[in-house]
Amino acid sequence: MRSRRKAVAAVPESVPESVGESGADPVARYAAALDGALHGPRAAKARLVEEVRGGFEDTVAAYEDEGLRREEALQHALDEFSSPDDLAPSCQRELTVAQARHTARSVVRTAPFLAGAWLLVDTAREPAHPAHQAAQLLAVHLAAAACLAVFAAAIALAVTGSLVRRAGTPQWLPKAMAWTGTAASVCTAAAALTLAITSLMSADWVIVAGAGALAAASHALVAGSARACRRCARLPIAEPAGIARLG
């Protein structure tokens, strides 16, 4: 077995101030820098950063066990892990998929709200004025578009989950999910606004306003997640490199 000592011999002895300086714990600083470089669902990001931080501490401890000083051990661990900026794209890849799945789940969760809104509009009496009829029809069509987004989101969840175990996630999928979520968000917002205005002129204003409230709830579920997904989809990602070196 090749010991860590062999790898140590190939690394310059100088320890840059980046890891050797006194004050804040360098491991905590590394984790904070990585945390700052990553974007994605809060829980998934916190977990990934905590795991990397733990691995970093384990690596430092292994070098210290071999007799290196703390500063040297930190430098060698940094060489193994690479800088937070270099590591971020391979971590971001998984977080971008996690954000796409989060957005897809948010879109899927709007399905009952949209179904409810549709049913309420269906039970409301036909508005007398043609303009009101058109507005109600528009709301129904917007809700239908949002339902298509729900269908697309369900497919995205299947493609990125256990149904497709070994096939890689298509690179365009997070971006597609971001814009699907955005479309659902815009449609539900427009439907909510249209139904709110229609309710003012409708004989069954309570029912129409209720449908509008359900559409607004759908918008609230999706909007933030879709925005976060668009940001993640713009970030650089990289395939995990896997093998660092062959002896």
Partner 1 sequence: MKADAVRGHLDGLLLAVLEQGPLHGYAIITAVRERSGGVLDLRTGTIYPALNRLERVGLLGSDWDAVGERRRRAYHLTDAGRASLAEERSSWREFTAAIGSVLDPAGHVRPAT
Residues near partner 1 (CB under 8 A): 1-3, 7, 44, 47-48, 50-52, 54-55, 57-59, 62, 80-82, 87, 90-91, 93-94, 97-98, 160-162, 164-166, 240-247
Judge whether 125 and 203 are in contact, CB under 8 Å: yes
* Cβ distance to partner 1 smaller for residue 73 or 124: 73
Distance of closest approach, residue 59 Cβ to partner 1, in angstroms: 6
Q: Decide whether 44 or 201 has the Cβ nearer to partner 1.
A: 44
Least Å from the CB of residue 90 to partner 1: 4
Cα separation, 96 vs 94, whole angstroms: 5
State the minimum distance, in angstroms, from the CB of residue 47 to partner 1. Answer: 7
Residue 91 beta carbon to partner 1: minimum distance, rounded to whole angstroms: 5
Q: Which DSSP state fits 127?
A: P
19 versus 207: smaller Cβ distance to partner 1: 19
Q: Which residues contact 141 (CB under 8 A, 6 or more apart)?
A: none
Residue 246 Cβ vs partner 1, minimum distance, rounded to whole Å: 5
109 within 8 A of 221, measured Cβ to Cβ: yes
- 10 Å CB burial of residue 70 (0-12, 13-18, 19+) is middle
Q: How far is the CB of 76 from partner 1 (least distance, A)?
A: 11
Q: Which is nearer to partner 1, 23 or 165 (CB)?
A: 165
Q: Using CA atoms, how far apart are residues 140 and 227, in angstroms rounded to an integer? A: 24
The residues near 212 (Cβ < 8 Å, ≥ 6 apart) are 117, 139, 191, 192, 193, 194, 195, 196, 198, 199
Instruction: Give the phi and the psi of residue 171 in degrees, each rounded to 5.
Output: -65, -30
What would the two tokens of residue 222 be? 């999706």
Could you give the 3-state DSSP secondary structure of residue 242? coil
CB-nearer residue toward partner 1: 5 or 231 = 5
* Least distance (Å) between residue 52 CB and partner 1: 5
Which of these, 227, 238, 147, lies nearest to 187 by C-alpha position? 147
User: Quick one: 54 or 224, whose CB is closer to partner 1?
Assistant: 54
Q: Based on CB atoms, which residue is closest to partner 1, 52 or 216?
A: 52
